Structure 1
Amino acid sequence: MPAPLRIGVVVGERSGDILGAGLMQAIQARFPDAEFTGIGGEQMLAIGFKSLFDQERLAVMGLIEPLKRLPELLSIRRQLFNHFANNPPDLFIGIDSPDFNLDLELKLKQQGVTTVHYVSPSVWAWRQGRVHKIAKAVDLILTLFPFEADFYQQHGVPVQFVGHPLADELAPVADSGSLREALAMEPDSTYLALLPGSREAEVRLVGPLLWQAAALCLHKLPNLKFIVPAANSARLEQIHEQLKGFSELPITVVAGQSQQVMAAANAVVMASGTTTLEALLLGKPMVVAYRMAWLSYKILSKLVKSKYISLPNLLADQPLVPELIQHDATPEAISAAILPLLIDGDERQVTLAEFDRIRKSLALNASTQAASAVLQLIGR
């Protein structure tokens, strides 16, 4: 009997755990005795993953926290390298967390281990020079979006576009009645969902813009209603505090449930991020409005090379979704951009048709595609 397939995997955050679990299940469907070791989260542990460290130890964000935790992170990476160098797996897969995984992948590849990186860093948007390090570090990169694969092909890096797991899960809801009932929304009213972001600074800078834009929309559409999903308890408190000055707004604030809120609403105004992809997959017209600290904006605006910041526009390669950034993000501009999308007219229908085309292009059964690509890489 051949030895069981041995695969090393490292994920650094919850989204990577979801991808890792899907990939594991797709590989286990072909190789039930496959062994997976490294760092994984709860979903991966539940299906047999052996984690050498708690995945939460890698879940660091921002600029300061990684620096404070640097000695610990370097120690974990060194111990992982020693483990895999002394017990070479058939394959090593780093899932997202590029600042941690790419160096590990590079050192393992130099030891003769076949390496894969799943989820492209935003190298196409900024710090494009990283593509040369990626080329040295991996035998294959798996991307969630086709424009990412195009970028790597242009730079001679082996790449496979596998689709996005969210596109396999999310689709427009034919009847939102039960969702509205669960969210205490009026069944026949027109609702605009407002998503000011998940971080304190985002809500502080973007929230007031959205509430002011809502007041302007209400002046034009007196029967309009609003609903806001708060990302966590801290944001819930912050949003309630901001809304004390907008008592005239017919607005409902709920804890979490951002996907359900978007699915139940008629349109969405949001800060940029993965929620823009979720709104597209759910078939909800949207406006992206974003502000950041002026110094951060000044620096990033010089570094970012892409034409757009929202995933719908990057995927369409055209200004499909209005993007109102920094000084362009005013209550007047936001309300003017979203009002036509609340009405079932030509602009809304054209947008929804393009959303549907993009959704179908991403719904490729990503986990199965990824499993096929990595198994083919090692001749299995």
Structure 2
Amino acid sequence: MRKHIGIIAGELSGDLLGAGLIHALRIYYPDALIEGIGGPKMLAAGFHSLYPLKMLSVMGLAEVIKHYPRLKKCRDNLLDHFLAHPPDVFIGIDAPDFNLGLETVLKSADIPIVHYVSPSVWAWRQYRLRKIAHACDLMLTLFPFEADYYLQHNIPVKFVGHPLADDIPLHINKQIARNHLGLADCVWIALLPGSRENEVKQLGVPFLQTARWLLAQNPNLRFIVPLANTNLKKIFTEQIAETADDLPLTLLDGQSHEAMAAADIVLIASGTATLEAMLLKRPMVVAYRLAPITYWLAKRLIHLSYYSLPNLLAQDKLVPEFLQHEVIPEKLGIAVLNWLENPAQVDVLQNRFTELHHRLRLSANQKAAQAIISILSSD
């Protein structure tokens, strides 16, 4: 009997996960009807999207409020569709604020529910654990510390690893990356001030000031800056004109993976990119800066020893982290120079990064598919 699988992904990162999962599921169910909301990669895998992915790609409280009527109508229509045509399993990929409510109703209709990518309940909003327990039959996590957290709260969970760890080789050739980008053979610092507008506005100028500070210590340094889209490039170019128009900068359209692979050190905004830098085995300095009111609220809600993914994964301060008022050229610059001046420390760091890479390299798409197949087979 033809399998019917519902999937809703909330943004491009979810589209990537969804596509890998669909490819793995189609090995076992080649003619399955797989539908919901997805992006271009899921569509290329034979997915039927009931709404465009951009419908859910809304960031920030104000934006969600602005688009709430449209989002509610979308969710109501999806509920009607899946209740009228019940899938054999429903998979919500990330987007917890949208998916968990949907999952709760579908589960009450006896539809098996899997949630793929844990919300950050281990960091804040722990009250969502009760909602998660009611909403899904199985949580699939990308990181082992997340699975440990759910086990402590008796919520069914499976750690599947991270697809990036499968895709990125264990050993990266820096020279090949430099040749690909046409970079001279010198010391390169990659600056990654973020992939969202608010991140670049918060970190672009401090990163440029840090580059100027570093150049004063070592005039032979060069800087490479990958920017995710034309809007971010425009913002950063304006920041250069205001603060650092004489720096030896090479700007790239996207290509963050290649830029980090080519670099000796990475100065980077906290986020998923730090995981990629870790898997590429690049020493890094991590910065995180929020709008003052957001930081004031976050400081009261979030209680973590570390906030960058490499440190969270290791539960150890492998890389330096600088938060809010600490994001200044002298602190960031000294941390960058420390990596440059201590190759033995870099060797130790890269060995730790390799250990973490192995822990995450579990054929995530296949493991996630197997977990879902177990549910489908139990029907």
What TM-score does the superposition give when structure 1 sets the normalisation length? 0.96
Equivalent of 1:189 in 186, 191, 200? 186
Alpha-carbon separation, structure 1, partners of 2:166 and 2:341: 28
8 Å contact kept, 1:124–1:151: yes
Equivalent of 1:224 in 198, 221, 225? 221
Alpha-carbon separation, structure 2, partners of 1:375 and 1:113: 14
Q: Which residue of 1 aligns with 2:300?
A: 302
CA deviation profile, 1:180-220 (whole Å, cap 9, x unmatched)? 2342311x201000111123332222122112211222222
123-132 vs 175-184, which deviates more?
A: 175-184
Alpha-carbon separation, structure 2, partners of 1:239 and 1:360: 36
Q: Which residue of 2 aligns with 1:236?
A: 233
Alpha-carbon separation, structure 2, partners of 1:23 and 1:74: 27
Equivalent of 2:199 in 180, 189, 202? 202
8 Å contact kept, 1:230–1:254: yes
- Specify the code of the residue in structure 1 equivalent to 2:21: L
Alpha-carbon separation, structure 2, partners of 1:205 and 1:83: 42
8-17 vs 114-123, which deviates more?
A: 8-17
How does 1:1-380 map onto structure 2 within 5 Å? 3-171=1-169, 174-186=172-184, 188-244=185-241, 245-343=243-341, 345-379=343-377
8 Å contact kept, 1:106–1:137: yes
Q: Once the 2 structures are TM-superposed, how far is the Cα of residue 249 of structure 1 from its aligned partner?
A: 2.2
Alpha-carbon separation, structure 1, partners of 2:30 and 2:245: 58
Q: What residue ranges of structure 1 are gaps of 5+ in the alignment?
A: none
Aligned identity (percent) is 49
Q: Once the 2 structures are TM-superposed, how far is the Cα of residue 112 of structure 1 from its aligned partner?
A: 0.6
CA deviation profile, 1:9-66 (whole Å, cap 9, x unmatched)? 1112111111111111111111212221211211112222122222221111111121
- Specify the code of the residue in structure 2 equivalent to 1:125: A
358-367 vs 220-229, which deviates more?
A: 220-229
Alpha-carbon separation, structure 2, partners of 1:205 and 1:56: 25
Q: Once the 2 structures are TM-superposed, how far is the Cα of residue 331 of structure 1 from its aligned partner?
A: 0.7
Alpha-carbon separation, structure 2, partners of 1:228 and 1:348: 22
Alpha-carbon separation, structure 1, partners of 2:264 and 2:140: 34
- Specify the code of the residue in structure 2 equivalent to 1:215: R
Q: What residue ranges of structure 2 are gaps of 5+ in the alignment?
A: none
SS of residue in 2 equivalent to 1:209:
helix
8 Å contact kept, 1:340–1:348: no
8 Å contact kept, 1:191–1:266: yes
SS of residue in 2 equivalent to 1:52:
strand
Alpha-carbon separation, structure 2, partners of 1:119 and 1:174: 27
SS of residue in 2 equivalent to 1:147:
helix
Alpha-carbon separation, structure 1, partners of 2:233 and 2:263: 19
Cα gap change, 1:174/1:19 in structure 2, threshold over 3 Å: closer, same or farther? Answer: closer
Q: Once the 2 structures are TM-superposed, how far is the Cα of residue 344 of structure 1 from its aligned partner?
A: 5.5
8 Å contact kept, 2:172–2:280: no
Alpha-carbon separation, structure 1, partners of 2:344 and 2:214: 19
Alpha-carbon separation, structure 2, partners of 1:336 and 1:157: 44
Cα gap change, 1:240/1:297 in structure 2, threshold over 3 Å: closer, same or farther? Answer: same
CA deviation profile, 1:326-360 (whole Å, cap 9, x unmatched)? 11111111011111212462211111111111011
Alpha-carbon separation, structure 2, partners of 1:298 and 1:211: 25
Alpha-carbon separation, structure 1, partners of 2:371 and 2:118: 15
Alpha-carbon separation, structure 1, partners of 2:36 and 2:245: 51
8 Å contact kept, 1:124–1:305: no
Alpha-carbon separation, structure 1, partners of 2:221 and 2:3: 57
Cα gap change, 1:126/1:23 in structure 2, threshold over 3 Å: closer, same or farther? Answer: same
Cα gap change, 1:87/1:174 in structure 2, threshold over 3 Å: closer, same or farther? Answer: closer
Query: Which consecutive aligned stretches of 4+ in structure 1 deviate over 6 angstroms post-superposition?
Result: none
8 Å contact kept, 1:12–1:58: yes
Alpha-carbon separation, structure 1, partners of 2:262 and 2:18: 30
- Specify the code of the residue in structure 2 equivalent to 1:287: V
8 Å contact kept, 1:173–1:263: no
Alpha-carbon separation, structure 2, partners of 1:42 and 1:371: 20
Alpha-carbon separation, structure 2, partners of 1:191 and 1:32: 46
Alpha-carbon separation, structure 1, partners of 2:11 and 2:205: 30
- Let me know the Cα RMSD of the aligned residues: 1.4
